[in-house]
Structure 1
Amino acid sequence: MKKTSIVVVMLMLMLVANACSSESGPKTEEGEGKSGTRQYESENGPVEIPADPKRIVALTNAPNILAMDVDLVGVDEWTKMNPLFTDKLEGVATVSDEKLEEVLALKPDLIIAGSTMKNLDQLREIAPTVVYTWGKLDYLQQQLEIGKVLNKEKEAQAWIDDFTSRAKAAGEEIKAKNGANTSVSVFEADSQNFYVFGNNWARGTEILYQAMGLQMTDKVKQDAQGPGAYTLSLELLPEYAGDFIVLSRKQGNENSFMQSEVWKKIDAVKNNRVIEIDTEASTYSDPVTLENLLKIFHEQFLAN
């Protein structure tokens, strides 16, 4: 029997078992759904989810869930590689939307997935599945929605209020020291290209531009703000550089560009105003990542 056929058979057996248990279980008051469940208004309409989910598989937004002190049974490979979550994910399975049998084996009671992922209909057969479209919500709205899913909306809102207040205060300190129009550019370097980011592409951009109120250069606004990210060559970096540079770089990658004359002649480099961050620890916009970056920015912007 082919692997796909085995998965289908297992799914059918699971559905039969779930149907039997639902028929025999107690009900809540009329209109509230089955016992132990509640409705979540997702972007695709209402989804009946566990009132208190215990076995969550997060194919996306895993860091947002972990920030609410909720355990996972399955997580995507990118979150698993993130050094900020190593301790929290010890023993947690790595899964994907393409390997349904691995998700099924974890017996999830809730799945969080992305709208462009494969096999969404099959995932819904395994467990209630909440889908998000990347970028449809801003970073604060996304955390609030995760809070709603986890029945922790008040906790999520409390963090939002506290974080935005602290980030704004940090931005005021930075501008008081360096000028009200202090600009910063966020670059990333990999083995082949350089990228510059707009105000909502992780790497701390939401903190710098939205929460702190620091400025973009005109070239960054022109080319990166719309698409969110823009690819450029080493020779063009000076045209996009602000008073400060935040440089996202994967630890261990070669950095020969930093020895080039083009890099050395950038004012922010000459003035020792380059703040390096680890790419693997900065590609999300969840509370854990944001708190880590806020601490780095607050210290290093004021140190220069």
Structure 2
Amino acid sequence: MMKRSSKRILTAILGMTMLLAVTGCQNTKQASSTSTQAGTGTETEQPTQSEAKGTRKVQTVKGEIEVPTDPKRVVVNWYVGDVVALDLNIVGYYGWEHEGMPYYDKMMATTKIQNWEQEEVMALDPDLIVTYSDEDYDKFKSIAPVIVIPEGDLSSIDRVLFLGEATGTKEKAQSVVDTFETKLAAAKETLQSDKFKDKTFSINEDWGSGSYGIFYETESRGGTLVYKYLGLKKPEKLEQLIKEKGENREGLSYEVAANYFGDYMLWFHPYDSAEGEPSEYEMSDIWKSLPAVVNNQVISIPSSKSGLFYYSDVLSLTAQMDYIVDAINSITK
């Protein structure tokens, strides 16, 4: 009886040992499985495989690409202001520079790319390339990851926020956007007051009677800020002209240009004109009779400020707004 009981106890102990071993193995597999699944989630503390090797995955118009989690050497085409706003290290840019730009000094501290070609870009040893051109993806992807943001796909605000998310500078992106939106709210309060109710605004530049005449602008030269963000009105005849021709910017002859001017005019002097020198149109009799001129409602943009209104990144928009609001306040006192 003793031998039979001992054998039963031994069998029970062995069975319990095997059960615990199997259970432990299953728990280990489940923990491993949970860890792997968590690693693919968007809200996990565990790093993804790409993050573990120093990159993050970003969804772009060219599909999902891997970019450095902390880019150190950025090359940029056109979106210079966005990259500057994020405090990323620019080793080369391709675009126009002018002393009126709010980040001109930072542009001068880096390399201007003369030819947007593989050889010159490769020589800068970038770890990230930012561009607006779809063609640049295949052109440069063998050199470094390429983030393509086609013009018009994102607003100025959404673009810098997207780049902030993509490059690990989300907080910086939000900071510059917050600054812009705070100033925008204050500017709207001024420009949408009763004083400016039903007033129209036009953006114009004198190219000369022997050239394109008087250009009207609706997107560049501050148009993005004036019409999209500040919500100011275009002259009715200008709205009709744009619908008829389908052109957001075009030259008008000296003889007809006045028909399309607003109650207030943002009047640009060409970037290469002498400072303080009146343009050809400003010396005409027509100019002297313009309602905006008679009523002192012309916001003059000197050649030294041409660069300020060239780009439409969040830093440029903020600086443009400061200039316009100060100018309007000075002429409406």
Q: TM-score, normalised by structure 2?
A: 0.74
Contact 1:186 1:197 in 2 (8 A): yes
1:202 to 213, 217, 220: 220
**Separation (CA, whole Å) in 1 of partners of 2:182 and 2:61:** 28
Unaligned runs of 5+ in 2: 1-45
Unaligned runs of 5+ in 1: 1-27
1:58-85 CA distance string (max 9 Å, x none): 0120111112222200001314776433
| Compared CA separation, residues 132 and 79, structure 1 to 2 (3 A) | farther
Verify: 1:267 aligned to 2:291, yes or no: yes
**Aligned residue runs from structure 1 range 65-214, under 5 A:** 65-79=83-97, 83-95=101-113, 98-115=116-133, 117=135, 120-176=137-193, 178-190=195-207, 192-193=211-212, 194-198=214-218, 201-214=219-232
Q: How far off its partner does 1:97 sit?
A: 6.0
Identity of aligned residues (%): 27
Name the structure 1 match of 2:264.
Answer: 244
Mean Cα deviation higher: 122-131 or 246-255: 246-255
Name the structure 2 match of 1:231.
Answer: 251
What SS is found at the alignment partner of 1:136? coil
1:188-237 CA distance string (max 9 Å, x none): 33352232122xx1322232223323211112222347543233222222
Q: How far off its partner does 1:177 sit?
A: 5.9
Verify: 1:52 aligned to 2:70, yes or no: yes
Q: How far off its partner does 1:147 sit?
A: 1.7
| Compared CA separation, residues 268 and 80, structure 1 to 2 (3 A) | closer
**Separation (CA, whole Å) in 1 of partners of 2:150 and 2:320:** 24
**Aligned residue runs from structure 1 range 18-33, under 5 A:** 29=47, 31-32=49-50
Verify: 1:276 aligned to 2:300, yes or no: yes
What SS is found at the alignment partner of 1:108? coil
Larger Cα-atom Rg:
2
Mean Cα deviation higher: 210-219 or 153-162: 153-162
Mean Cα deviation higher: 41-50 or 148-157: 148-157
| Compared CA separation, residues 165 and 202, structure 1 to 2 (3 A) | farther
**Separation (CA, whole Å) in 2 of partners of 1:127 and 1:82:** 31
**Separation (CA, whole Å) in 2 of partners of 1:215 and 1:188:** 18
Q: How far off its partner does 1:160 sit?
A: 2.4
| Compared CA separation, residues 250 and 147, structure 1 to 2 (3 A) | farther
Q: How far off its partner does 1:93 sit?
A: 1.5
Contact 2:51 2:69 in 1 (8 A): no
- Aligned-residue CA RMSD (Å): 2.4
**Separation (CA, whole Å) in 2 of partners of 1:228 and 1:43:** 26
Contact 1:196 1:224 in 2 (8 A): no
Contact 1:190 1:253 in 2 (8 A): no
Q: TM-score, normalised by structure 1?
A: 0.81
Q: How far off its partner does 1:268 sit?
A: 0.5
Q: Number of matched residues? A: 274
1:143-173 CA distance string (max 9 Å, x none): 2222223222233234324422322321221
| Compared CA separation, residues 69 and 242, structure 1 to 2 (3 A) | same
Q: How far off its partner does 1:273 sit?
A: 1.2
Mean Cα deviation higher: 79-88 or 93-102: 79-88
